[in-house]
Amino acid sequence: MYRYDEVDHRIVRERVEQFRDQTQRFLSGELAEDEFRPLRLMNGLYVQRHAPMLRVAVPYGHLASRQLRKLAHIARKYDKNYAHFTTRQNIQFNWPELARVPDILEELAEVEMHAIQTSGNCVRNTTTDAFAGVAQDEVLDPRAYCEIIRQWSTLHPEFAFLPRKFKIAVSGSVEDRAATQVHDIGLHVVRNETGEVGFKVIVGGGLGRTPIVGEVVKEFLPTRHLLTYLDAVLRVYNRFGRRDNKYKARIKILVKAMTVAGFAAKVEDEWLHLQDGPSTLRDADVAHYASFFTDPAYDLLPSNPPELVEKQATEPAFARWLERNTRPHKQAGYRSVVLSLKKTGVPPGDITAEQMDAAADWADRFGYGELRVAHEQNLILPDVRERDLYEVWQLAKSQGFATPNVGLLTDIICCPGGDFCSLANARSIPVAEAIQTRFDNLDYLFDLGEIDCNFSGCMNACGHHHIGNIGILGVDKNGEEWYQITLGGSQGSHTTIGKVIGPSFAQADVPLAFEKIMAVYLEQRTDGERFIETVRRIGLDPFKERVYAKHH
């Protein structure tokens, strides 16, 4: 886990007291709304449709059990007993009373958490693979570098007022599980021809109004140059990025305007002044931060112990959960468990205070006191002994965490939509629930296989609909809610932006459209072919013809 030093503690405490004073002055009328707005946004506080919303940073998705218990306490004491995990590994409280937000921030500071830079035109929370440090295919544990980026970017004076918000993702594995290609900067750990480990630097990715897959500006960056190169990229963006039009202010627009080669050349010119400078990482620096993330004292255990194999063979429901909701671990005898937050009837990503307390207890009892937040809006126990999996499954069932749908159609990534967000054009939660209900038959769901379904309530694309195999976008038509469907999107090492299949649908017609799409897939798929592979092979036309066919 990351660790605060005395400077971190002091900065966060002082920030809490500053915001307490600012809030009191706003509530007493000394500060106008226009004056208070930038101050609250600097502390992660938005004004939503019904109430303020506080977004709390979860650095690269890492949570200690004591932190999750504190979040449960906050949900219980200051909110409506629940919170919402986002696609950037943060957590949001949707109903705090403004006057009590400084108290929440003070409680967060007690467990080394805050809401700084979860809003505004600055470098936001760095994200990474939820299985970092335990994945079997990892080239390099990226967490030390995530922590270095976190410390570099927090309250960085030069990059506090960028043209627009700025998002960085880091992947340390062969398979990109951090969606690096749709971030402003994506860092993918690679080896060069001599075997040295470094970063492939991808710049200019992003979703929202103009979805773009990022492009490589440097094939191999030695790890010691990480910060000097990030400085160079941010300086070029800070200098040349547009500030006259927020819709054209993201770095992806600048990269397109300059061309990738032109942008990369500017970065290289800037880097000439920074390379090998004071921000160059020494081995001792990296070793210091890597010491925060050393392996726990794993037991030496055999893989697939008899008690696991016996339960897997005799209880089909457990076998299904084991297949979908656990992941291989680098240490023999262990697996990572994905606690599904996608139970039918529950808004995707929502978690109650009781569930948080339970998950924290399991992290202590079955692991080493640590949990992860996935950008797919599920919660992960990274280190569970295989011999304990059956008991964990039973406990997970008791708390509504055990829906065996991870990676399947009903594991929907979904923003809060119009039920909460003031920017949304349409509600997403009831439509996601309608889809989950329509496909609630597990036999059918397993037969359909792996399908990523992503849902956004507006063009800001917080639900990452562009990179869902099936994407849904809520749109407004003359004051009514409609839903546009895209097909063919994907994340990971082969990221693709999905394409719109045609006119949008009324809310009640979305599940039926999904049924027709699935029918075409089942008719057209070849043996073992996943949904996205069928879409790529046959194109969109067969799906369009079925979905928009007139009834006779």
pLDDT per position as a tens digit, 427-486:
999 999 999 999 999 999 999 999 999 999 988 899 999 999 999 999 998 889 999 999
pLDDT for 1 beyond 90: no
pLDDT score of 417:
85
d(CA 382, CA 130): 9
pLDDT for 526 beyond 80: yes
pLDDT score of 425:
86
Q: Give pLDDT tens digits for 35-75.
A: 999 999 999 999 877 789 999 999 999 999 999 999 999 99
CB 383 within 8 A of CB 296: yes
CB 385 within 8 A of CB 333: yes
Contacts of 444 (CB under 8 A, 6+ apart): none
d(CA 203, CA 196): 22
Neighbours of 399 (CB within 10 A): 18
Q: Report the candidate in 451, 448, 449, 498 with the shortest Cα–Cα distance to residue 473.
A: 498
pLDDT score of 78:
97
User: In 367-473, which residue ranges form alpha helices assigned H by DSSP?
Assistant: 389-398, 429-438, 442-448
Inter-CA distances, 452 with 337, 472, 484, 538, Å: 19, 11, 16, 18
Q: Give the mean model confidence (pLDDT) for residues 237-263.
A: 97
Neighbours of 260 (CB within 10 A): 15
d(CA 485, CA 453): 10
Q: Which amino acid appears at position 71 of this protein? A: L
Calculate ∠ Cα 322-327-329, nearest 5°.
125
Q: Report the candidate in 193, 177, 274 with the shortest Cα–Cα distance to residue 232.
A: 274
d(CA 505, CA 388): 46
d(CA 321, CA 356): 20
Calculate ∠ Cα 101-107-113, nearest 5°.
95
Q: Give pLDDT tens digits for 144-176.
A: 999 999 999 999 999 999 999 999 999 999 999
Q: Report the candidate in 425, 440, 439 with the shortest Cα–Cα distance to residue 504.
A: 425
pLDDT score of 423:
82
Q: Give the mean model confidence (pLDDT) for residues 339-344.
A: 96
Residue 161 CA to its chain's centroid (Å):
23
Calculate ∠ Cα 318-319-323, nearest 5°.
115
Q: Give pLDDT tens digits for 109-128.
A: 999 999 999 999 999 999 99
pLDDT score of 50:
79
**Secondary structure (DSSP) of 448-516:** H----EEEESSTT-TT-GGGSSEEEEEEEETTEEEEEEEES-B-GGG-B--EE-SS-EEGGGHHHHHHH
Structure-token match 């709304």, residue found:
33
| Global pTM value | 0.95
What is the percent of the chain with per-residue pLDDT over 70, rounded to a whole number? Answer: 100
Calculate ∠ Cα 324-330-332, nearest 5°.
90
d(CA 23, CA 210): 36
Q: Give pLDDT tens digits for 407-429.
A: 999 999 999 888 888 888 889 99
d(CA 327, CA 336): 5
Structure-token match 């339970």, residue found:
358
CB 379 within 8 A of CB 351: yes
Element (H, E) at 476: strand 470-477
pLDDT score of 2:
87
Q: Give pLDDT tens digits for 13-39.
A: 999 999 999 999 999 999 999 999 999
Phi, psi for 325 (deg, rounded to 5): -110, 10
> Starting at the edge strand that comes first in sequence, how are the strands of the sheet with 45-47 ordered?
45-47, 52-56, 91-93, 82-85, 350-352
Contacts of 414 (CB under 8 A, 6+ apart): 347, 348, 349, 377, 428, 429, 432, 454, 455, 463
Q: Report the candidate in 526, 541, 183 with the shortest Cα–Cα distance to residue 375.
A: 183
User: Two tokens at 134?
Assistant: 């335990």
CB 145 within 8 A of CB 187: yes
* In 206-346, beta strands by DSSP E: 215-222, 326-328, 334-339
d(CA 316, CA 319): 5
pLDDT score of 551:
60
Q: Give pLDDT tens digits for 352-409.
A: 999 999 999 999 999 999 999 999 999 999 999 999 999 999 999 999 999 999 999 9
Mean per-residue pLDDT over the chain, rounded: 96
